[in-house]
Amino acid sequence: MLAIVMFSMGCTVEAHKLWGHVKKPWGISIGFLCQFGLMPLIAFALSLAFGVLPVQAIVIIIMGCCPGGSGSNIICYWLDGDMDLSISMTACSSILALGMMPLCLLIYTTTWTTGSPIQIPYDSIGITLAALLIPIAVGMYVKRRWPEQAKKILKVGSIAGFLLIIIIAVVGGVLYQSSWTIAPSLWIIGTIYPFIGFSLGFLMARFVGQPWYRCRTIALETGFQNSQLCSTIVQLSFNAEELEVMFAFPLIYSIFQLVVAVICVGSYQLYKKRFKRDADGSDSEAADSDVGLHKIRALENYGFEGNEGSIGAVKSNDKNTKL
Protein backbone atom coordinates (compact mmCIF):
# COMPACT_ATOMS: atom_id res chain seq x y z
CA MET A 1 0.00 0.00 0.00
CA LEU A 2 2.87 2.34 0.82
CA ALA A 3 4.51 1.56 -2.52
CA ILE A 4 1.31 2.41 -4.42
CA VAL A 5 0.97 5.73 -2.59
CA MET A 6 4.64 6.62 -3.15
CA PHE A 7 4.20 5.79 -6.83
CA SER A 8 1.48 8.44 -7.03
CA MET A 9 3.68 10.92 -5.12
CA GLY A 10 6.44 10.26 -7.64
CA CYS A 11 4.11 11.61 -10.32
CA THR A 12 4.78 15.11 -8.88
CA VAL A 13 8.57 14.85 -9.00
CA GLU A 14 10.80 16.15 -11.77
CA ALA A 15 14.22 14.55 -12.09
CA HIS A 16 16.16 17.77 -12.72
CA LYS A 17 14.65 19.45 -9.64
CA LEU A 18 15.37 16.41 -7.50
CA TRP A 19 18.94 16.35 -8.75
CA GLY A 20 19.19 20.09 -8.06
CA HIS A 21 18.44 19.49 -4.37
CA VAL A 22 21.12 16.81 -4.28
CA LYS A 23 23.73 19.01 -6.03
CA LYS A 24 23.00 22.03 -3.82
CA PRO A 25 21.72 20.41 -0.62
CA TRP A 26 20.87 23.53 1.38
CA GLY A 27 17.39 22.31 2.26
CA ILE A 28 18.64 18.75 2.83
CA SER A 29 21.38 20.05 5.15
CA ILE A 30 18.89 22.04 7.23
CA GLY A 31 16.65 18.99 7.41
CA PHE A 32 19.62 16.87 8.47
CA LEU A 33 20.43 19.25 11.34
CA CYS A 34 16.80 19.23 12.46
CA GLN A 35 16.34 15.47 12.03
CA PHE A 36 19.49 14.19 13.71
CA GLY A 37 20.42 17.27 15.75
CA LEU A 38 17.26 18.80 17.19
CA MET A 39 14.97 15.77 17.50
CA PRO A 40 17.30 13.52 19.58
CA LEU A 41 18.23 16.51 21.75
CA ILE A 42 14.56 17.34 22.37
CA ALA A 43 13.86 13.69 23.24
CA PHE A 44 16.73 13.69 25.72
CA ALA A 45 15.56 16.95 27.31
CA LEU A 46 11.94 15.77 27.62
CA SER A 47 13.03 12.48 29.20
CA LEU A 48 15.07 14.33 31.83
CA ALA A 49 12.39 16.96 32.44
CA PHE A 50 9.60 14.44 33.09
CA GLY A 51 11.75 11.95 35.01
CA VAL A 52 10.44 8.89 33.16
CA LEU A 53 11.64 5.32 33.71
CA PRO A 54 14.93 4.34 32.00
CA VAL A 55 13.26 2.07 29.42
CA GLN A 56 10.70 4.77 28.69
CA ALA A 57 13.46 7.36 28.23
CA ILE A 58 15.17 5.01 25.80
CA VAL A 59 12.08 4.55 23.63
CA ILE A 60 11.56 8.33 23.52
CA ILE A 61 15.14 8.82 22.35
CA ILE A 62 14.83 5.99 19.81
CA MET A 63 11.84 7.82 18.34
CA GLY A 64 13.85 11.03 18.19
CA CYS A 65 16.71 9.28 16.39
CA CYS A 66 14.53 7.68 13.68
CA PRO A 67 14.60 9.06 10.12
CA GLY A 68 11.66 10.85 8.56
CA GLY A 69 8.57 8.85 7.72
CA SER A 70 7.02 8.59 4.26
CA GLY A 71 3.79 10.12 5.60
CA SER A 72 5.52 13.50 5.42
CA ASN A 73 5.56 13.26 1.62
CA ILE A 74 1.79 12.80 1.51
CA ILE A 75 1.11 15.68 3.91
CA CYS A 76 3.62 17.84 2.03
CA TYR A 77 1.49 17.50 -1.11
CA TRP A 78 -1.60 18.76 0.73
CA LEU A 79 0.36 21.70 2.18
CA ASP A 80 1.73 22.74 -1.22
CA GLY A 81 5.28 22.10 -0.06
CA ASP A 82 8.34 21.31 -2.15
CA MET A 83 7.71 17.69 -3.13
CA ASP A 84 11.15 17.29 -4.68
CA LEU A 85 12.79 18.49 -1.46
CA SER A 86 10.47 16.36 0.70
CA ILE A 87 11.24 13.15 -1.14
CA SER A 88 14.98 13.84 -1.33
CA MET A 89 15.03 14.60 2.41
CA THR A 90 13.13 11.41 3.28
CA ALA A 91 15.47 9.32 1.12
CA CYS A 92 18.63 10.98 2.45
CA SER A 93 17.52 10.72 6.09
CA SER A 94 16.83 6.98 5.61
CA ILE A 95 20.29 6.47 4.12
CA LEU A 96 22.04 8.61 6.74
CA ALA A 97 20.11 6.83 9.51
CA LEU A 98 22.28 3.77 8.90
CA GLY A 99 25.12 5.65 10.58
CA MET A 100 23.43 8.47 12.48
CA MET A 101 21.00 6.33 14.48
CA PRO A 102 23.72 4.25 16.21
CA LEU A 103 25.74 7.43 16.86
CA CYS A 104 22.81 9.38 18.34
CA LEU A 105 21.68 6.42 20.44
CA LEU A 106 25.20 5.98 21.75
CA ILE A 107 25.37 9.67 22.74
CA TYR A 108 21.94 10.07 24.32
CA THR A 109 21.10 6.68 25.86
CA THR A 110 24.28 6.08 27.87
CA THR A 111 22.62 7.82 30.83
CA TRP A 112 20.10 4.96 31.11
CA THR A 113 21.55 1.89 29.33
CA THR A 114 23.66 -0.60 31.21
CA GLY A 115 22.84 -3.87 29.45
CA SER A 116 23.08 -5.03 25.85
CA PRO A 117 23.27 -2.47 23.07
CA ILE A 118 20.15 -1.44 21.16
CA GLN A 119 19.69 -3.39 17.93
CA ILE A 120 19.31 -1.33 14.76
CA PRO A 121 17.18 -3.20 12.16
CA TYR A 122 19.20 -2.31 9.08
CA ASP A 123 17.09 -4.66 6.96
CA SER A 124 13.92 -2.71 7.89
CA ILE A 125 15.60 0.55 6.97
CA GLY A 126 16.65 -0.95 3.65
CA ILE A 127 13.13 -2.23 2.92
CA THR A 128 11.67 1.19 3.77
CA LEU A 129 14.19 2.87 1.48
CA ALA A 130 13.43 0.48 -1.39
CA ALA A 131 9.67 0.94 -0.87
CA LEU A 132 10.28 4.67 -1.12
CA LEU A 133 12.73 5.02 -4.00
CA ILE A 134 11.58 2.38 -6.50
CA PRO A 135 7.90 3.49 -6.72
CA ILE A 136 8.95 7.15 -6.86
CA ALA A 137 11.30 6.39 -9.76
CA VAL A 138 8.44 4.65 -11.62
CA GLY A 139 6.15 7.62 -10.88
CA MET A 140 8.74 10.05 -12.25
CA TYR A 141 8.91 7.99 -15.46
CA VAL A 142 5.12 8.04 -15.80
CA LYS A 143 5.08 11.81 -15.29
CA ARG A 144 7.65 12.25 -18.03
CA ARG A 145 5.99 9.94 -20.56
CA TRP A 146 2.28 10.46 -19.78
CA PRO A 147 1.85 13.78 -17.94
CA GLU A 148 -1.96 13.86 -18.23
CA GLN A 149 -2.35 10.36 -16.78
CA ALA A 150 0.13 11.28 -14.04
CA LYS A 151 -2.18 14.10 -12.89
CA LYS A 152 -5.09 11.67 -12.51
CA ILE A 153 -2.92 9.15 -10.64
CA LEU A 154 -1.73 11.92 -8.33
CA LYS A 155 -5.27 13.00 -7.41
CA VAL A 156 -6.30 9.46 -6.52
CA GLY A 157 -3.03 8.65 -4.75
CA SER A 158 -2.97 11.81 -2.64
CA ILE A 159 -6.45 11.10 -1.25
CA ALA A 160 -5.68 7.40 -0.76
CA GLY A 161 -2.42 8.24 1.01
CA PHE A 162 -4.10 10.62 3.43
CA LEU A 163 -6.76 8.01 4.23
CA LEU A 164 -4.06 5.35 4.60
CA ILE A 165 -2.27 7.37 7.29
CA ILE A 166 -5.53 7.71 9.26
CA ILE A 167 -6.41 4.02 8.86
CA ILE A 168 -2.96 2.90 10.07
CA ALA A 169 -3.23 5.12 13.15
CA VAL A 170 -6.75 3.87 13.99
CA VAL A 171 -5.96 0.19 13.39
CA GLY A 172 -2.75 0.46 15.43
CA GLY A 173 -4.68 2.01 18.31
CA VAL A 174 -7.29 -0.77 18.24
CA LEU A 175 -4.83 -3.68 17.89
CA TYR A 176 -2.60 -2.49 20.71
CA GLN A 177 -5.23 -1.08 23.03
CA SER A 178 -3.86 -3.22 25.88
CA SER A 179 -0.73 -1.03 25.84
CA TRP A 180 -2.57 2.23 26.54
CA THR A 181 -2.37 1.87 30.34
CA ILE A 182 0.89 3.76 30.82
CA ALA A 183 2.28 6.62 32.85
CA PRO A 184 0.69 10.06 32.22
CA SER A 185 4.15 11.48 31.52
CA LEU A 186 4.43 9.37 28.35
CA TRP A 187 1.05 10.65 27.19
CA ILE A 188 2.18 14.24 27.73
CA ILE A 189 5.51 13.73 25.96
CA GLY A 190 3.88 11.88 23.07
CA THR A 191 1.41 14.76 22.69
CA ILE A 192 3.81 17.72 22.79
CA TYR A 193 6.84 16.15 21.11
CA PRO A 194 5.43 16.30 17.54
CA PHE A 195 4.31 19.91 18.05
CA ILE A 196 7.79 20.87 19.23
CA GLY A 197 9.41 19.07 16.29
CA PHE A 198 7.19 20.72 13.67
CA SER A 199 7.58 24.17 15.24
CA LEU A 200 11.35 24.10 15.65
CA GLY A 201 11.85 22.68 12.16
CA PHE A 202 9.77 25.50 10.69
CA LEU A 203 11.55 28.18 12.73
CA MET A 204 14.99 26.81 11.87
CA ALA A 205 14.20 26.82 8.15
CA ARG A 206 12.79 30.34 8.33
CA PHE A 207 15.78 31.55 10.36
CA VAL A 208 18.17 30.59 7.55
CA GLY A 209 15.99 32.35 4.98
CA GLN A 210 14.14 29.48 3.30
CA PRO A 211 10.89 30.41 1.49
CA TRP A 212 7.59 29.59 3.15
CA TYR A 213 6.78 26.48 1.11
CA ARG A 214 10.17 24.98 1.94
CA CYS A 215 9.75 25.91 5.59
CA ARG A 216 6.55 23.84 5.61
CA THR A 217 8.42 20.97 3.95
CA ILE A 218 11.33 21.00 6.40
CA ALA A 219 8.92 21.26 9.35
CA LEU A 220 7.11 18.13 8.17
CA GLU A 221 10.34 16.22 7.64
CA THR A 222 11.47 17.19 11.14
CA GLY A 223 8.29 16.28 13.02
CA PHE A 224 7.22 13.22 11.02
CA GLN A 225 9.26 10.34 12.42
CA ASN A 226 9.27 6.75 11.19
CA SER A 227 7.29 5.34 14.12
CA GLN A 228 7.08 1.87 12.51
CA LEU A 229 10.88 1.67 12.57
CA CYS A 230 10.88 2.73 16.22
CA SER A 231 8.42 -0.06 17.07
CA THR A 232 10.62 -2.60 15.26
CA ILE A 233 13.74 -1.52 17.16
CA VAL A 234 11.91 -1.72 20.48
CA GLN A 235 10.60 -5.23 19.77
CA LEU A 236 14.06 -6.45 18.77
CA SER A 237 15.91 -4.93 21.72
CA PHE A 238 13.73 -5.47 24.80
CA ASN A 239 11.96 -8.29 26.60
CA ALA A 240 8.21 -8.66 27.12
CA GLU A 241 8.17 -7.04 30.58
CA GLU A 242 9.97 -3.94 29.32
CA LEU A 243 7.73 -3.76 26.25
CA GLU A 244 4.64 -3.42 28.44
CA VAL A 245 5.77 -0.01 29.74
CA MET A 246 7.29 1.38 26.53
CA PHE A 247 5.62 -0.09 23.44
CA ALA A 248 2.69 2.34 23.45
CA PHE A 249 4.87 5.41 22.98
CA PRO A 250 5.48 4.97 19.21
CA LEU A 251 1.71 4.61 18.77
CA ILE A 252 1.03 7.74 20.82
CA TYR A 253 3.59 9.71 18.84
CA SER A 254 2.24 8.51 15.48
CA ILE A 255 -1.32 9.46 16.45
CA PHE A 256 -0.42 12.95 17.59
CA GLN A 257 1.88 13.65 14.65
CA LEU A 258 -1.16 12.78 12.55
CA VAL A 259 -3.28 15.16 14.64
CA VAL A 260 -0.79 17.95 13.99
CA ALA A 261 -0.77 17.12 10.28
CA VAL A 262 -4.59 17.14 10.01
CA ILE A 263 -4.76 20.48 11.84
CA CYS A 264 -2.12 21.97 9.54
CA VAL A 265 -3.74 20.64 6.37
CA GLY A 266 -7.22 21.78 7.42
CA SER A 267 -6.02 25.25 8.42
CA TYR A 268 -3.99 25.66 5.25
CA GLN A 269 -6.77 24.53 2.93
CA LEU A 270 -9.22 26.93 4.63
CA TYR A 271 -6.67 29.71 4.27
CA LYS A 272 -6.25 28.90 0.57
CA LYS A 273 -9.99 29.04 -0.04
CA ARG A 274 -10.32 32.29 1.89
CA PHE A 275 -7.35 33.82 0.11
CA LYS A 276 -8.65 32.73 -3.29
CA ARG A 277 -12.09 34.16 -2.54
CA ASP A 278 -10.57 37.46 -1.40
CA ALA A 279 -8.33 37.52 -4.48
CA ASP A 280 -11.28 36.87 -6.80
CA GLY A 281 -13.24 39.65 -5.08
CA SER A 282 -10.38 42.13 -5.39
CA ASP A 283 -9.92 41.20 -9.06
CA SER A 284 -13.61 41.83 -9.78
CA GLU A 285 -13.48 45.12 -7.89
CA ALA A 286 -10.44 46.13 -9.88
CA ALA A 287 -12.21 45.21 -13.13
CA ASP A 288 -15.29 47.20 -12.08
CA SER A 289 -13.14 50.22 -11.21
CA ASP A 290 -11.41 50.02 -14.61
CA VAL A 291 -14.78 49.97 -16.38
CA GLY A 292 -16.02 52.85 -14.24
CA LEU A 293 -12.90 54.89 -14.96
CA HIS A 294 -13.30 54.21 -18.68
CA LYS A 295 -16.91 55.49 -18.56
CA ILE A 296 -15.92 58.61 -16.66
CA ARG A 297 -13.26 59.42 -19.23
CA ALA A 298 -15.81 58.85 -21.98
CA LEU A 299 -18.05 61.51 -20.41
CA GLU A 300 -15.18 63.97 -19.97
CA ASN A 301 -13.95 63.54 -23.55
CA TYR A 302 -16.79 63.40 -26.04
CA GLY A 303 -14.65 61.52 -28.57
CA PHE A 304 -14.74 58.37 -26.34
CA GLU A 305 -17.78 56.20 -26.86
CA GLY A 306 -17.49 54.43 -23.49
CA ASN A 307 -17.44 50.86 -24.81
CA GLU A 308 -15.80 48.15 -22.72
CA GLY A 309 -13.60 46.86 -25.49
CA SER A 310 -9.87 46.46 -25.64
CA ILE A 311 -7.23 49.10 -25.06
CA GLY A 312 -6.65 49.19 -28.78
CA ALA A 313 -10.26 50.28 -29.34
CA VAL A 314 -9.86 53.07 -26.78
CA LYS A 315 -6.74 54.30 -28.50
CA SER A 316 -8.54 54.23 -31.85
CA ASN A 317 -11.38 56.35 -30.45
CA ASP A 318 -8.85 58.76 -28.95
CA LYS A 319 -7.21 59.11 -32.35
CA ASN A 320 -10.56 59.88 -33.96
CA THR A 321 -11.17 62.52 -31.30
CA LYS A 322 -7.91 64.24 -32.11
CA LEU A 323 -8.73 64.19 -35.79
pLDDT at 294 over 50: no
299 belongs to a structural domain: no
Q: Which of 109, 84, 99, 127 is nearest to 36 (CA)?
A: 99
Q: At what angle do helices 83-109 and 54-65 cross, to 10 degrees?
A: 150
Provide the CATH number for the domain around residue 64. Answer: 1.20.1530.20
pLDDT at 279 over 50: yes
Domain count for the chain, please give it: 1
245 belongs to a structural domain: yes
300 belongs to a structural domain: no
207-219 pLDDT, tens digit per residue, is: 988 899 899 999 9
Range in 117-126, 137-146, 163-172, 305-314 with the lowest mean pLDDT: 305-314
Tell me which of 323 and 83 has the higher pLDDT: 83
| DSSP symbol at 120 | P
151 belongs to a structural domain: yes
Contact between 233 and 120 under an 8 Å Cβ cutoff? The reply is yes
Any residues with CB less than 8 A from the CB of 236 and at least 6 apart, and which? 119, 121
CA distances from 217 to 19, 130, 153, 204, 270 (A): 17, 22, 22, 12, 19
Residue ranges making up the domain that contains 167: 2-277
229 belongs to a structural domain: yes
How many CB atoms are located within 10 Å of the residue 165 CB?
21
Question: pLDDT tier at 286 (50, 70, 90 boundaries)?
Answer: very low
231 belongs to a structural domain: yes
Is residue 107 exposed (0-12), middle (13-18) or buried (19+ Cβ within 10 Å)?
A: middle
21 belongs to a structural domain: yes
